Structure 1
Amino acid sequence: MNIKVNPQIELKPLEMGDSKPIFSILDQQRDYIGKWLPFVQYTHKIEDTRKFVASMIEEAEKNTTKVYSIMLGSELIGLISFKDISRVNKSTEIGYWISQDYQGRGIMTDAVRQMCKMAFEEWKMNRIVIKCAEENYPSKRIPQKIGFKYEGLERESIVMIDGQFANLEVFSLLKSDGMKI
């Protein structure tokens, strides 16, 4: 099921046909996107992306992950996902990235809002988490704008492309908190 974000943007469930545009963005913006997403350094050919997409589709069938392509009309411009979905604990984490060409337009903030709305209203989740690299200021602004609360720092939680560890800031939103419009 596709999710309408606004008149121009729609989220559609990830499918194998998305592999080529995903790889194209990652390959063209390797330095920029790879700065914050370490997996980019392991994505050297289209087959690497196909394997990723296939694994995410398999995880979606198990209801542990749900990945959506962010579509501007017919153009894929990024990905957003629910990961670590726990129906028992009524919690999930949202992860995202968007092409540098489309940043700063509010697209991702609106997409995250729609994902939160779906998690709280349709899935009856209680808690949503977003984790961002400590120095990734554009990414951190998204949960802050929506009303997520800063919970703390996961020290040296992720290995970056340069082999150095980076801290992740953890933000959460409870259903009872309500979202900022």
Structure 2
Amino acid sequence: MRLAITGNIHLTPLVEQDAQALFHLIEANRALLNKYLYWVKSVKDLDSTRQYIQQRIHSKRGGAVWYKIICDDTLSGIFGIKEINRQEKSAEIGYWLSAHCQGRGIMTNVVTTICEQLRNKWGILHLNIHCLSENTASIAVAKRAGGIHSDTIPAYSTIDGKSQDLMIYTISL
């Protein structure tokens, strides 16, 4: 299933056959991704990239679905609906975008489109985005999409010897 975001941006389901292209994208963006994402160090070759994909597409979390972000016909990142909680009418998303596509409003467009789909298709009322405190780009996306800082988990992760809080932003749909 292809989900159109704009004329040159769409999402398509992440599949195991994406491993080689995804590994190359991670390698090209490793320094950037290492700053904010716990899993980057474990993705070091084609096999571990396949494991990364398998962990996402075979997630046991309700409603989880993972996509590759295609921009200008090029794999440019990953977007996931990490979980949908139908009882609480809430969902959590996660994403990353390669450096060559950042600063163009791509992720804001993706999040806005997904918000509409979650509200219309699943009746979701609240969307959560979790960002490390140093991840100013993801925090900016959450805020542009209407996110309000709703919680902080102190000292959630240590990256390069620096402790970072986990900031939780909630978007009311």
Q: TM-score range by the shorter chain?
A: over 0.9
- The Cα RMSD (Å) is 1.6
TM-score for the superposition, normalised by structure 2: 0.93
Cα pair 1:91 1:128 within 8 Å, conserved: yes
Q: Give, as a single letter, the amino acid of the residue that structure 2 aligns with 1:82.
A: I
1:97-118 deviations in Å (ceiling 9; x for gaps):
0001110000111011111111
Q: Identity rate of aligned residues, in percent?
A: 28
1:10-32 deviations in Å (ceiling 9; x for gaps):
01111112211211111122111
| Alignment: residue pair count | 173
Q: Give, as a single letter, the amino acid of the residue that structure 1 aligns with 2:129.
A: I
Once residues 123 and 20 of structure 1 are traced to their aligned partners in structure 2, the CA distance between those partners, rounded to angstroms, is: 33
For structure 1, the residue ranges without an aligned partner over 5 or more in a row are 176-181
Once residues 55 and 133 of structure 2 are traced to their aligned partners in structure 1, the CA distance between those partners, rounded to angstroms, is: 28
Query: What residue in structure 2 maps to residue 178 of structure 1?
Result: none
Please list every run of at least 4 consecutive aligned residues from structure 1 whose deviation after the TM superposition is greater than 6 angstroms. none
Once residues 172 and 107 of structure 1 are traced to their aligned partners in structure 2, the CA distance between those partners, rounded to angstroms, is: 20
Q: CA deviation at 1:163?
A: 4.8
Once residues 159 and 95 of structure 1 are traced to their aligned partners in structure 2, the CA distance between those partners, rounded to angstroms, is: 19
SS in 2 for 1:20: helix
SS in 2 for 1:155: strand
SS in 2 for 1:83: strand
For structure 2, the residue ranges without an aligned partner over 5 or more in a row are none
Once residues 89 and 145 of structure 1 are traced to their aligned partners in structure 2, the CA distance between those partners, rounded to angstroms, is: 24
Once residues 117 and 104 of structure 1 are traced to their aligned partners in structure 2, the CA distance between those partners, rounded to angstroms, is: 22
Alignment of 1:11-50 (within 5 A): 11-50=11-50
Q: Residues 152 and 55 (structure 1 numbering): CA distance in 2 closer, same or farther, change over 3 Å?
A: closer
Which is worse superposed, 151-160 or 96-105? 151-160
Query: What residue in structure 2 maps to residue 5 of structure 1?
Result: 5
